[in-house]
């Protein structure tokens, strides 16, 4: 491909070599490499469905060029936990009914992890602010806020790093 570059992205702890044109977004690159857990929502940074952690900071992958993430640690929802061993945020969303249709859930949990990375003891207002870039059409947000607060508390009790 003209204007393409071979890059190595470290995704969920594994290096993946891909060739991308300079205009390819991280969202497109992730989905092309099989990381379909990263959802494609609005493609303009309004919904947060495509959120991933890049060096522990939640970003919208639809607004990030893939090549700018080379050499950085990229974490998708699959990198946080598994169905058998869920991350505390995943468990809280499940146990407190914070997920309904599930489309926004991966991005919402990633954004929540970003909030907790910034502050392991976030206030309700800090959680609201941290999740303000993520849209959910099903839940009304109350259970999501409860789940994030609960998970943050559980993580502190267990001495888990953010």
pLDDT band at 140 (very low <50, low <70, confident <90, very high): confident
Q: How far apart are CA 24 and CA 6, in angstroms?
A: 12
In this structure, are 110 and 138 located in the same domain?
yes
pLDDT given for residue 93 in this prediction: 97
Question: What pLDDT does 117 receive?
Answer: 97
Bridging pattern class, strands 51-54 and 4-11: unpaired
Strand partners, 11: 14, 74
Residue 56 near residue 73 (C-beta atoms within 8 A) = yes
- Sheet architecture: strand order including 51-54: 14-21, 4-11, 73-75, 51-54, 57-60
Reported as a single tens digit per residue, the pLDDT across 94-114 is 999 999 999 999 999 999 999
Name residues whose C-beta falls within 8 Å of residue 75's C-beta, 6 or more positions apart in sequence.
Answer: 11, 12, 52, 53, 54, 56, 110
| Domain termination site, one of 45, 78, 111 | 78
Is 127 a member of any domain? yes
Domain of residue 38 covers 4-78
Same domain membership, residue 138 and residue 85: yes
Note the pLDDT tens digit of each residue in 27-44: 999 999 999 999 999 999
Same domain, 86 and 153: yes
Q: Which of 78, 102, 132 is the last residue of a domain?
A: 78
Return the residue matching tokens 């969303």: 93
Total domain count for the chain?
A: 2
pLDDT number for residue 160: 81
- Four-CA torsion 134, 140, 146, 151, nearest 10 degrees: -40
Q: Give residue 1's pLDDT band: very low, low, confident or very high (50, 70, 90).
A: low
At 59-96, the pLDDT tens digits run 999 999 999 999 999 999 999 999 999 999 999 999 99
Residue 161 has pLDDT above 70, yes or no: no
In a domain, 162, yes or no: no
My answer on whether 98 and 142 are in the same domain is yes
pLDDT of residue 3: 86
Tell whether 103 and 48 lie within a shared domain. Answer: no
């Amino acid at each position: 491909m003209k204007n393409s570059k071979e890059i190595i992205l470290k995704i969920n702890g594994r290096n993946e070599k891909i060739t991308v044109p300079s205009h390819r977004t991280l969202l497109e690159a992730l989905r092309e490499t099989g990381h379909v857990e990263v959802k494609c929502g609005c493609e303009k940074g309004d919904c947060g469905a495509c959120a991933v952690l890049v060096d522990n900071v939640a970003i919208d992958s639809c607004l990030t060029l893939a090549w700018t993430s080379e050499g950085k640690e990229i974490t998708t929802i699959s990198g946080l936990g598994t169905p058998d061993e869920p991350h505390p945020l995943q468990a809280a969303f499940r146990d407190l009914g914070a997920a309904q249709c599930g489309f926004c859930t991966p991005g919402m949990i990633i954004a929540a992890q970003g909030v907790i990375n910034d502050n392991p003891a976030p206030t309700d207002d800090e959680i609201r602010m941290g999740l303000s870039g993520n849209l959910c059409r099903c839940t009304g947000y109350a259970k999501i806020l409860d789940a994030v607060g609960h998970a943050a508390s559980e993580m502190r009790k267990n001495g888990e790093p953010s």
